[in-house]
Amino acid sequence: MVEYHNNIFCIQSNWLFGEGEIMSEEAYNHIAKRKQVNIVRRGCRNTPALVEYDSLPSRFKLLVEQKVGNPRRLIEKSDVEQHIAVDSEAVSFYSRWELDNGKNLNRDVQVEYYWNAVVLNAVRKVVNTRKALHKALNNRPGGMWESISNSVNDINRTNIPHTLPANPRRLQDKYNQYIKEGYSALIHRNFCNANSRKVDTRLEKLILSIYCMGNKPYSSWVHEDYMRFIAGVLDIVDMESGELYDRADFFDDKKGTYISISEATCWNYINKPSNAAIVARLRSGNHRYLSTVRPHYHRHAPKYSLSKISLDDRDLPRKLHDGNRVKAYYAYDVASGCLIGASYSLRKDRDLFIDCVRNMFRFIDSRGWGLPLELEVEHHLVREFDNNLMKAGLVFPFVRWCAPGNSQEKHAEQLNRQKKYGYEKRYQDGIGRWYSKDSSNQVDGDRIFDDTTQKYVVKERTYDYARLVAEDLETIEAYNNGLHRNQKDYPGMTRMQVLVKLLNPNLADINKALLARYIGEKTTTSIQRNMYCQVQYNDYMLPSPEVLSNLAPNNYTVNAYYLPGETIKEVYLYQNEQFIACAQQIETFNTSIAERTDADTLAMTSQAKYIAQFDAMVKRGKGTISKVQFLGSISHLESIEPELVPVLVSNDNDSFDDYNYNPDYHTKMAIDNL
């Protein structure tokens, strides 16, 4: 009927509306729902709910006392139990206590230590009271601890689950230690004590080493192998150092025998979380480890389209008639999820990647958009472009290289999954796996024996190349025009609408000349008539005659790069790895004035403008050249015979004054001798 619960005097709810007939069950439910009483413990099977007696309305308390008198007299509390009180400091102390390994105490251990501290606090009050009483009476406190021990043992441990010693001497020792050391005196000293471990570090390392062998043994095998090892039946060698494990390292000197462990202990150490991560790295493949064990980043998609493009290759799920699959390479805009570039081939090589990039730029350029700011790729198929096309800052401002085999890192992997199971499965037949557990993802196939490979194979429906590519292009169209996955931020908008509406405002203009050099086709041609070059049987005119000055002397040969397509409107000319000019396709005009259209007039005007510029350039150059003429002829100069002129030599004894020098005479003589 009544009891103490967590030191609170309570009355059972089923007695109130049952045997006690204090109120009806409806009345009890009403006051409980309106929280007019304090429910200390909720009821469950074979355990009634407890209501704090003091929280009952006065009218119900009066009925209880009329029925049974003072209900508190029904329970007599021991001397110690009467002094029990809540200790919030103990709660805080044990909840924050850190062991040597950095962990906190277990929750059940915290509760145990808390109640031990609460009871010892009550014991201290009783001890102080009795000592004061005996001192006042000048008596010796004989038999005090026997009495206190009885009071402690009389406490209802269901309500106050302490674990203090029942023996008076042991209780006194624990009390004295508690008074001296405080709350920490109750913490068991074996927590995090390495000496208490049956499995030490060396044995733990050996267990894990055996478990990580190449044959991936079961934990039961590890236990068997260890027991055979300490029995001397099996030797274990460290393959890195070449040394044998010494059985003496696993000998327990205190017990005089080898350390023996159970199969359960072996399993526990293998599956300890800190060990499980190491074991997974050594026993699992790289892909499984990265996708299930290793921590991963938590990210969100860009806000603007063309901020980041993610590229990835895949095999189309349905097979060709020869049993192979079509290889595809996709380029996704991460923000919108839109697929903006695709290429197909029977081989997974560099051309598949380049064709995808070309297709992406045709899509972007046809709409007049700028250059994507970042590309996300992996080294597979793309590694040979890491120093040119995929070098950050050369063509694209940023390039991110993803770790190979880590599918969760690339956005394209996730978008491929959305496309496959959201659209390919909806619009195409035969999408799935014959071994899938989900019947919706199973495809029909007969398991037959192949005489060529001598293996059982599954015979599935096959398709031709053209159909698979055509249906995939149709699916891409449906996928791009499907609703964006994030309808919370983009309500009612399709992927294509998000792509168009949220273009990054910082997109740069596309350097087509540089881009064509890396992803375009190349042909060698020459400048003809100082005006044009020929590529794919079409003529392409230089933008101006001034371009001729950029050519090397006596060298009209150039490399023409262009992006392949149905029509090639322009080519980009390079000579000696230097960009020369962009040449536009020459549009011819009708020679008949009667049939000439506006387009013919524009074409004729463009050519006439170039010719006029060429004539002007020649005229300017002609004006800088002067007419020159030689005086006389070469034959006249050759007929002149030199005349020997005597050299005047003075004697050392002659002075300059003795020499008769006549300026006019000698000047005339010099001229005549010419």
Residue 575 has pLDDT above 50, yes or no: yes
Regarding whether 414 and 324 lie in a shared domain, the answer is yes
> 3-state secondary structure string, 109-135?
HHHHHHHHHHHHHHHHHHHHHHHHHHH
Which of 296 and 204 is assigned the larger pLDDT?
204
Which of 495 and 20 is assigned the larger pLDDT?
495
Q: How many CA atoms lie within 13 A of 7 on its CB side?
A: 14
Q: Of 446, 474, 501, which residue is a domain's last?
A: 501
Domain-embedded: residue 376: yes
Q: Which pairs with CB-CB distance under 8 Å and at least 24 residues apart come from 481-490?
A: 482/422, 482/423, 484/336, 484/337, 485/337, 485/418, 486/301
Q: Which of 121-135, 226-240, 385-399 has the lowest mean pLDDT?
A: 385-399
Q: Which pairs with CB-CB distance under 8 Å and at least 24 residues apart come from 508-513?
A: 508/370, 508/371, 508/373, 508/397, 509/370, 509/371, 510/361, 510/364, 510/365, 510/370, 510/371, 511/371, 511/395, 512/365, 512/563, 512/570, 512/572, 512/582, 513/561, 513/572, 513/579, 513/582
Regarding whether 325 and 249 lie in a shared domain, the answer is no
Residue 239 has pLDDT above 60, yes or no: yes
Q: Which two tokens stand for residue 134?
A: 């005996």
Is 352 in contact with 312 (CB distance < 8 Å)? no
Note the Cα 213 to chain centre separation in Å. 30
Average pLDDT of 509-526? 88
Give whole-number Cα distances, 232 to 131, 211, 492, in Å. Answer: 66, 19, 73
Predicted local distance difference test score (pLDDT) of residue 655: 47
Regarding whether 345 and 483 lie in a shared domain, the answer is yes
Which of 178 and 238 is assigned the larger pLDDT?
178
Regarding whether 588 and 536 lie in a shared domain, the answer is yes
Regarding whether 599 and 474 lie in a shared domain, the answer is no
Predicted local distance difference test score (pLDDT) of residue 177: 92
Domain-embedded: residue 115: yes
Average pLDDT of 594-613? 92
Domain-embedded: residue 485: yes
Domain-embedded: residue 486: yes
Average pLDDT of 188-217? 74
Rounded CA separation 633/424 (Å): 91
Predicted local distance difference test score (pLDDT) of residue 451: 67
Q: Which of 59-73, 406-420, 656-670 has the lowest mean pLDDT?
A: 656-670
Q: Which of 191-195, 483-487, 652-656 has the lowest mean pLDDT?
A: 652-656
Q: How many CA atoms lie within 13 A of 609 on its CB side?
A: 11
Q: Supply the mean pLDDT for the chain.
A: 83
Rounded CA separation 317/423 (Å): 13
Strand partners, 527: none
Predicted local distance difference test score (pLDDT) of residue 443: 63
The most confident of 422-426, 556-560, 657-661, by mean pLDDT: 556-560
Instruction: Please give the DSSP secondary-structure letter assigned to residue 510.
Output: P
Q: How confident is the model at residue 607 (pLDDT cuts 50, 70, 90)?
A: very high
Predicted local distance difference test score (pLDDT) of residue 495: 94
Q: Of 265, 283, 301, which residue is a domain's last?
A: 283
Is 133 in contact with 89 (CB distance < 8 Å)? no
Q: How confident is the model at residue 561 (pLDDT cuts 50, 70, 90)?
A: very high
Is 456 in contact with 473 (CB distance < 8 Å)? no
The residue range of the domain holding 273 is 197-283
Q: Which of 45-54, 265-274, 628-637 has the lowest mean pLDDT?
A: 628-637
Q: Which of 63-77, 317-331, 612-626 has the lowest mean pLDDT?
A: 63-77
Rounded CA separation 314/332 (Å): 13
Regarding whether 591 and 538 lie in a shared domain, the answer is yes
Regarding whether 516 and 379 lie in a shared domain, the answer is no
Regarding whether 242 and 138 lie in a shared domain, the answer is no
Average pLDDT of 616-633? 84
Domain-embedded: residue 222: yes
Is 155 in contact with 162 (CB distance < 8 Å)? yes
Domain-embedded: residue 393: yes
Q: How confident is the model at residue 479 (pLDDT cuts 50, 70, 90)?
A: very high
Predicted local distance difference test score (pLDDT) of residue 664: 63
Regarding whether 470 and 345 lie in a shared domain, the answer is yes
Regarding whether 611 and 578 lie in a shared domain, the answer is yes
**What H or E segment, with its residue span, contains residue 270?**
helix 263-270
Domain-embedded: residue 2: no
Would you call 10 helix, strand, or coil by DSSP?
Answer: strand
Regarding whether 482 and 578 lie in a shared domain, the answer is no
Would you call 5 helix, strand, or coil by DSSP?
Answer: strand
Regarding whether 380 and 488 lie in a shared domain, the answer is yes
Residue 271 has pLDDT above 50, yes or no: yes
Rounded CA separation 190/411 (Å): 50
Number of structural domains the chain divides into = 4
Residue 215 has pLDDT above 90, yes or no: no
Is 190 in contact with 253 (CB distance < 8 Å)? no
Q: Which two tokens stand for residue 8?
A: 């609170």
Q: Which of 89-103, 219-233, 511-525 has the lowest mean pLDDT?
A: 89-103
Which of 388 and 568 is assigned the larger pLDDT?
568
Domain-embedded: residue 29: no
Residue 392 has pLDDT above 70, yes or no: no
Predicted local distance difference test score (pLDDT) of residue 48: 85
Q: Which of 421-430, 522-531, 535-544, 557-566 has the lowest mean pLDDT?
A: 421-430
Residue type at 609 in one-letter notation: K
The most confident of 261-270, 578-587, 650-659, by mean pLDDT: 578-587
Q: Of 142, 164, 186, which residue is a domain's last?
A: 186
User: Whats the size of the chain, residue-wise?
Assistant: 674
- CATH code where residue 354 lies: 3.30.420.10
Predicted local distance difference test score (pLDDT) of residue 659: 47
Q: What is the pLDDT of residues 86-141, one digit of tens each?
A: 888 888 888 888 775 557 788 888 899 999 999 999 999 888 887 876 676 666 66
Which of 303 and 76 is assigned the larger pLDDT?
303
Q: Which of 157-166, 372-381, 395-404 has the lowest mean pLDDT?
A: 395-404
Q: Which of 126-130, 410-414, 529-533, 639-643 has the lowest mean pLDDT?
A: 639-643
